[in-house]
Chains A and B, each alone.
Chain A
Amino acid sequence: MADIANVHGGVPHPEGETRRDFLVLAGTALGAVAAAAAVWPLISSMNPAADTLAAGGPVDVDLSKLAPGQQIVVMWRGAPIFVVNRTPEALALLQKADLVEKLRDPDSQVHQQPPYADNWHRSADPQFAVLVGICTHLGCVPNFLPKPNPTSPSADWPGGYFCPCHGSKYDLAGRVYKGVPAPYNLPVPPYNFTSKTTLRIGENPTGVAFELSSVQQM
């Protein structure tokens, strides 16, 4: 079998390495690069396609028909976006000390909103709340229960959002209560007002860079 004994050999280098070792190494490395290049398009094809990305562009909402105290839900990137026209009473409630002390993060310390919503009303315009309607616990859509109620969904309900899945509570600025399963305030998407009555969801005001994907938790 002399003919096959030499197959891994070549002429040995003084340090025991052969030209064949180099060829095997170089060949394997190139093979690995080729395999990675072949796998890349396959993995990449699972990312959002061009039309999916295009469908994730900004959405315009007409606010002129939104009565005070009313909420509408808009779909943006497959998620429900709550748009609320808050009454002066509701805004006053958001600032009351006995509500604020029940909240986990009343001052929006956690990054769940763009800089222009980094305030007590968590919005660019105090009148209009714009929130991603996905509970930060396990992704359910919280119910809009704006009116105060002595018993339902819990005692002394001041008005806000109540998640039917596991009982998480938020106020009308999407701020989460203490002692509920949800850990963070409802996220705020990027938006701006293109006119007095037109809300554009998915686009920041000029000069601000904010991506919804940058928040602590959707």
Chain B
Amino acid sequence: MATTNSGDRPQNRIVQWIDYRLPVFTFLNHELRDYPTPRNLSYLWNFGSLAGIVLVMMIVTGIFLAMNYTPNEALAFESVERIMRDVNYGWLIRYVHMNGASMFFIVVYIHIFRGLYYGSYKAPREILWMLGVVILLLMMATAFMGYVLPWGQMSFWGATVITNLFSAIPIVGPKIVTWLWGGFSVGNPTLNRFFSLHYLLPFVIVGVVVLHLVALHQHGSNNPLGIDKKGKQDSIPFHPYYTIKDSLGLAVFLLPYAFLVFFYPNFFGEPDNYIPANPLATPAEIVPEWYFLPFYAILRSTPDLLFIPSKLAGVLLMFGSIAVLFVLPWLDTSPVRSGRFRPVFKWFYVSLIIDAFLLGYVGKHKPDATLFGIALPTIGWLGTLWYFGYFLVILPLLGFFEKPLKLPNSISEAVLKKGTGVAPGAA
């Protein structure tokens, strides 16, 4: 096997014959093997491919779950229990799927925060970033509807609360909610359509992921230095360097995942969801899945804003917290991509991470609780302001006031300088 760019010509005669008519092999060779990748990618760059793998795992386990699931309000809960007790390895497939949702969000959130730190959203990768935000939105919708399917208490009341958000919209709100439900409350029609859409959306996600990859391969990956590749010496072929690195990352990722599935399968779950849905009794405390907690905090903590009632304001800000990501490439005015060379940005970035955890804490606990003696809604509102302040005030201003550090001349130069005399290129 050749080790460097072997050209586009495959060796095997049959492969040649097919490739001449349908250039899949040339394509794969080009995009997965020779594909020039910055030589300095850290392990933070593993999370894109990890997310893709988790997506495939979710689709595969989901298809097998659907073979035994019944989307009917009288039968759904029972059919899930049957999967857990009677279907061969049903417990395993369901726990892999259930915890897969949490693992998927962990991976994707790390992927997003990596992009935020290294400026991966900046030119020429704006569309790449925006497609990623679309994927996040689709994931949230898919996860929410999937959580409704077991038809436990949390499923039912989660669906009730989230769909009721739309009633905050003036004039048409209540009509939209009835339309979403297909009835006068969350019921059988709601469950049916959620199942249909929960099956559909992952394939839509696959479609957007393909676009995400097309956009990625147009200009290649960003890198920890945030500077462009200047020549061959700055990149290495994707295979075998990053295939093996991604494989190792996958193996390491699967360890905690398997640990959850086999030892603490309900760690992220709510016990109330093992009680069948009861439209007459709301659980004492309704908490969304952990990956929605910061957004839930924004929703609950927003007060009346001028003439907008707090209910509507909360909904607007919650959706706005995602919408602001769409325009992020134009909010960040600094020409420097990587946070490594932005001494002030760095600290604001850390504050954003703390803010996200703080909002998560507020979302998890009852609104009448306190933290450091301050009422949680107050903390939630301050956290919300800080979140929007980061994107709408700090990032636009930092570009003008911050003095970035000197950027290295090239990736290879920086990599070689970092080595301690045994740099890989010196061999």
Which residues of A are at the interface with B, using a C-beta cutoff of 8 A?
A: 1-8, 40-42, 44-47, 49-52
Contact = CB atoms under 8 A, between A and B. Distances in A.
Given A2-B425, A44-B88, 19 more contacts: A1-B4, A1-B232, A3-B426, A4-B4, A6-B427, A7-B3, A7-B240, A41-B88, A42-B61, A42-B64, A42-B89, A42-B93, A45-B87, A46-B64, A49-B82, A49-B87, A49-B90, A50-B85, A50-B88
A50 B4 contact: no
16 contacts: A4-B4, A5-B3, A5-B4, A7-B240, A8-B1, A41-B88, A41-B92, A41-B93, A42-B61, A45-B67, A45-B93, A46-B67, A49-B88, A50-B85, A50-B87, A52-B86
Nearest to A48: B88
B424 A3 contact: yes
A40 B92 CA distance: 11
Nearest to B1: A8
Contacts of B3: 4-8
A4 B236 contact: yes
Interface string B301-312: 000000000000
A50 B86 contact: yes
A181 to B, nearest CB: 34
Contacts of A52: 86
B237 A4 contact: yes
A217 to B, nearest CB: 27
B196 interface: no
Interface in B51-104: 60-61, 64, 67-68, 82, 85-90, 92-93
Contacts of B85: 50-51
A167 B22 CA distance: 51
Contact of B68 (A6, A41, A45): A45
Contacts, number: 59
A51 B82 contact: yes
Nearest to A31: B247
Contact of B425 (A3, A41, A42): A3
B382 to A, nearest CB: 46
A162 to B, nearest CB: 38
B68 A49 contact: yes
Interface in B234-256: 236-237, 240-241
A40 B85 CA distance: 18
A51 B84 CA distance: 12
Contacts of B87: 45, 49-50
A18 B424 CA distance: 21
Interface of B: 1, 3-4, 60-61, 64, 67-68, 82, 85-90, 92-93, 232, 236-237, 240-241, 424-427
A1 B235 CA distance: 11
Contacts of A1: 4, 232
A41 B60 CA distance: 12
A35 to B, nearest CB: 12
B236 to A, nearest CB: 6
Nearest to A44: B88
B427 A42 contact: no
Contacts of B64: 42, 45-46
A51 B82 CA distance: 8
Nearest to A1: B4
Nearest to A2: B427
A45 B89 contact: yes
A73 B383 CA distance: 70
B86 A49 contact: yes
A8 B237 CA distance: 14
Nearest to B85: A50
Given A3-B425, A3-B427, A45 B90 contact: yes
Nearest to A5: B3
A17 B202 CA distance: 45
Given A45-B64, A45-B67, A46-B67, A51 B93 contact: no
Contact of B60 (A2, A8, A40, A42): A42
A42 B232 CA distance: 45
Nearest to B251: A34
Contacts of B426: 3
A46 B87 CA distance: 8
Nearest to B82: A51
A6 B68 CA distance: 51
A41 B57 CA distance: 13
A84 B1 CA distance: 73
B417 to A, nearest CB: 16
B2 to A, nearest CB: 9
A109 to B, nearest CB: 38
Contacts of A46: 64, 67
Contacts of B61: 42
| Most-contacted residue by chain B among A2, A7, A8, A46 (CB, 10 A) | A7
Contacts of B232: 1
Contacts of B67: 45-46
Nearest to B426: A3
A7 B77 CA distance: 54
A7 B33 CA distance: 14
Contacts of B86: 49-52
Nearest to A42: B64
A41 B85 CA distance: 14
**Closest 9 pairs (CB-CB, A-B):** A41-B89, A50-B86, A49-B86, A51-B86, A44-B88, A49-B87, A3-B425, A3-B424, A45-B88
A6 B3 CA distance: 8
B252 to A, nearest CB: 15
